[in-house]
């Protein structure tokens, strides 16, 4: 019977001996370790940290088990993993990926900018995850170019504390938040009213006790509203039946482990079990007289929400409208927006794209079991309310006393000073006299995203004006020759308008995936020149395509002053 490795010095010795990521580990090596094959999750975490020369937490080991990357051993409540399983996993991925990506994308790939040592919780820290947003860059990328103290690989310093930074494609406000954290001033501009709301929400300061009071009050009112609903009883019964079914046919983590090893045809097996459970679901829908569809189908909220979910959304929204404190009302509105995004009638793997409304149970490729659409917003509302307060509190411990604001407007034509005078007159005077030191921004990519449409639910609910026609490079405009020309002219117009507010020796950094090679001409037409470019791998993308992918950070300077 195998014994468990339990002494940290043995773990350290094993990890140090094998930390070269040599893929030649074989059965003979495993026989040499003998009794050291199995470890607890904590011991595996210590071993992996030594092996990879960076911190690997217990949650990471648990993730590998949960998603079938490595096999779980042990019984009587104990969870053990095998050293060889961990080695094989890490050797097939870690370290090898850098070499593989450089072969595919070129040796000029700057792996320092991959930030591959970071966990997801680091790249979505504090307020950066207050609301989902497609196409945003990670905060560490902003830090790299803005902060003069945090990176040993940089040879130049572009910005310093107290400088003013501009993001003319502000999106969800990542650059504004990081500027605040670094002690810099920042101005964002976005044509989308909703984007501006989210950005300003993130960098504002709140009475968190008052916010907690309002969210709890709404939670209690929502609980009363649905207390006697057939839908609540139905959903509880459905969840109970699903748990029994999934435990039988999709046991975790055994099912995912067998999928990982190719022992199950997922599509065939998933479809078979989906059909098998569907009559159970339909019977419960009939028994509890659940109405799935709304009477109208005129807008996004009509089409993508089950009837009971829509009634809860309207109920909570009416409560929010009565909040007298504007700042509290705005942040609670964003909590509701985040909630309803997660409650659309679609599959868990389709939240970003939306194909067809889903009103019954289905096989979920994301979770590897039969899942159901949501019939109530209560759980997500509670979760996001608590999460928002925690994230705001975390950011409060980092924030600096500096100015940040996102202006709603078209970056091609907006008068920045005039717009600032309406909302931050003192900051307007500072910008007018001191001027802006540079730009850090990620312009839209050609024909990739419809920025208004991704938050269509919020525009419907809050009655924000939509300005889709002002989007640069939107998906609806395509990526053909005319679209590319319009895109190029749009970016040039933005730069020409914004550089009027910049210091002569400005630095402009634009993050782009320039497949069409437009940025050299963009720089030229804007009276700028590319003085450097940084090609970075983009890891941990949320899209289904996990292939090698890169983007370029273009560094522009003024032609006449360089």
Question: What is the predicted pLDDT for the residue at 455?
Answer: 92
Lowest mean pLDDT among 6-15, 61-70, 367-376, 503-512: 6-15
pLDDT at 384 over 70: yes
Token pair for 124? 């979505």
- Angle subtended at Cα 415 by Cα 411 and Cα 421, rounded to the nearest 5 degrees: 125
Q: How far is CA 125 from the centre of its chain?
A: 10
Percent of the chain with pLDDT over 70: 89
DSSP line for 175-229: HHHHHHHTT-EEEEEES-HHHHHHHHHHH----HHHHHHHHHHHHHHHHHHHTT-
Question: Which 3 state secondary structure label does DSSP give 511?
Answer: strand
Q: pLDDT tens for residues 444-474?
A: 999 888 899 899 999 999 999 999 999 999 9
Question: What is the predicted pLDDT for the residue at 535?
Answer: 93
DSSP code for 295 = S
Token pair for 178? 């990081």
Q: pLDDT tens for residues 32-83?
A: 344 458 899 999 999 988 888 777 888 878 878 877 888 888 876 788 999 8
Determine how β-strand 369-371 pairs with β-strand 362-364.
antiparallel
Q: Please answer whether residues 372 and 332 qualify as being in contact, where contact means their C-beta atoms are separated by less than 8 angstroms.
A: no
At residue 552, φ and ψ (nearest 5 deg) are: -120, 135
Mean pLDDT of 108-117: 82
3-class secondary structure for 214-277? Answer: HHHHHHHHHHHHHCCCHHHHHHHHHHHHHHHHHHHHCCCCHHHHHHHCCCCCHHHHHHHHHHHH
> What CATH number belongs to 106-203+418-558?
3.40.50.150
Question: What is the predicted pLDDT for the residue at 150?
Answer: 55
Give the residue from 417, 492, 458, 519 showing the smallest Cα distance to 172.
458
Residue 540's pLDDT band (cuts 50, 70, 90): low
Q: How far apart are CA 472 and CA 246, in angstroms?
A: 46
Q: pLDDT tens for residues 412-451?
A: 999 999 999 999 999 999 999 999 999 999 999 998 888 9
pLDDT at 100 over 90: no
Q: Please answer whether residues 259 and 368 qualify as being in contact, where contact means their C-beta atoms are separated by less than 8 angstroms.
A: yes
Token pair for 51? 């092996």
Token pair for 211? 């916010």
The total of other beta-carbon atoms located within 10 Å of residue 435's CB is 14
Domain boundaries, the chain: 8-94, 106-203+418-558, 208-392
Question: What is the predicted pLDDT for the residue at 95?
Answer: 61
The total of other beta-carbon atoms located within 10 Å of residue 152's CB is 6
């Amino acid at each position: 019977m195998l014994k468990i490795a339990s002494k940290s010095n043995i773990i350290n010795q094993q990890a140090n001996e094998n930390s070269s990521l040599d893929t030649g580990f074989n059965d003979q090596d495993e026989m040499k370790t003998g009794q050291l094959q199995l470890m607890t999750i904590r011991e595996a975490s210590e071993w992996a940290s030594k092996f990879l020369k960076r911190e690997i937490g217990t949650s990471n080991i648990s993730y590998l088990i949960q998603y079938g990357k490595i096999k779980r051993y042990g019984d009587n409540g104990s969870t053990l993993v095998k050293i060889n399983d961990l080695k094989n996993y890490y050797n097939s991925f870690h370290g090898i990926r850098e070499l593989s990506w450089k072969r595919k994308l070129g040796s000029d790939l700057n792996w320092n900018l991959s930030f591959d040592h970071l966990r997801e919780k680091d790249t979505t820290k504090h307020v950066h995850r207050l609301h989902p947003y497609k196409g945003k860059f990670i905060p560490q990328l902003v830090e790299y170019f803005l902060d003069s103290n945090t990176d040993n690989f940089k040879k130049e310093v572009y910005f310093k504390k107290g400088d003013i930074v501009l993001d003319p494609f502000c999106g969800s406000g990542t650059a504004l938040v990081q500027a605040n954290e670094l002690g810099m001033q920042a101005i964002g501009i976005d044509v989308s009213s909703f984007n501006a709301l989210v950005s300003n929400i993130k960098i504002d300061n709140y009475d968190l006790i008052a916010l907690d009071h309002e969210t709890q009050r709404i939670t209690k009112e929502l609980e009363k509203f649905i207390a006697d609903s057939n839908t609540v009883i139905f959903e509880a019964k459905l969840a109970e039946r699903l748990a029994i079914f999934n435990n039988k046919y999709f046991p975790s983590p055994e099912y995912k482990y067998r999928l990982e090893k190719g022992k199950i045809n997922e599509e065939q097996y998933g479809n078979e079990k989906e059909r098998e459970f569907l009559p159970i679901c339909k019977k419960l829908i009939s028994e509890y007289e659940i109405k799935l569809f709304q009477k109208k189908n005129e807008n996004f909220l009509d089409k993508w929400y089950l009837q009971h979910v829509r009634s809860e959304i309207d109920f909570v929204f009416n409560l929010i409208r009565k909040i007298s404190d504007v700042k509290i009302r705005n942040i609670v509105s964003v909590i509701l927006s985040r909630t309803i995004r997660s409650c659309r009638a679609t599959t868990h793997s389709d939240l970003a794209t939306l194909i067809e409304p889903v009103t019954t149970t289905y096989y979920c490729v994301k979770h590897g079991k039969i899942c159901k659409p949501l019939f109530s917003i209560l759980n997500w509302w509670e979760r996001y309310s608590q999460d928002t307060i925690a994230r705001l509190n975390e950011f409060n411990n980092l924030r600096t006393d500096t100015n940040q604001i996102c202006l709603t407007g078209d970056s091609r034509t907006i008068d920045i000073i005039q717009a600032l005078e309406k909302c931050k007159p003192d900051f307007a005077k500072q910008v007018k006299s001191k001027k802006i030191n540079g730009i850090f921004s990620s312009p839209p990519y050609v024909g990739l995203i419809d920025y208004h449409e991704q938050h269509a639910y919020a525009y419907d609910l809050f009655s924000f004006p939509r300005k889709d026609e002002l989007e640069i490079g939107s998906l609806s405009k395509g990526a053909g020759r005319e679209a590319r020309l319009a895109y190029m002219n749009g970016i040039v117009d933005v730069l020409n308008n914004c550089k009027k507010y910049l210091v002569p020796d400005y630095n402009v950094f634009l993050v782009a995936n320039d497949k069409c090679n437009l940025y050299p001409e963009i720089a030229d037409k804007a009276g700028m020149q590319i003085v450097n470019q940084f090609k970075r791998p983009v890891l941990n993308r949320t899209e289904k395509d996990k292939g090698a992918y890169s983007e370029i950070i273009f560094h522009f300077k003024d032609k006449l002053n360089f």
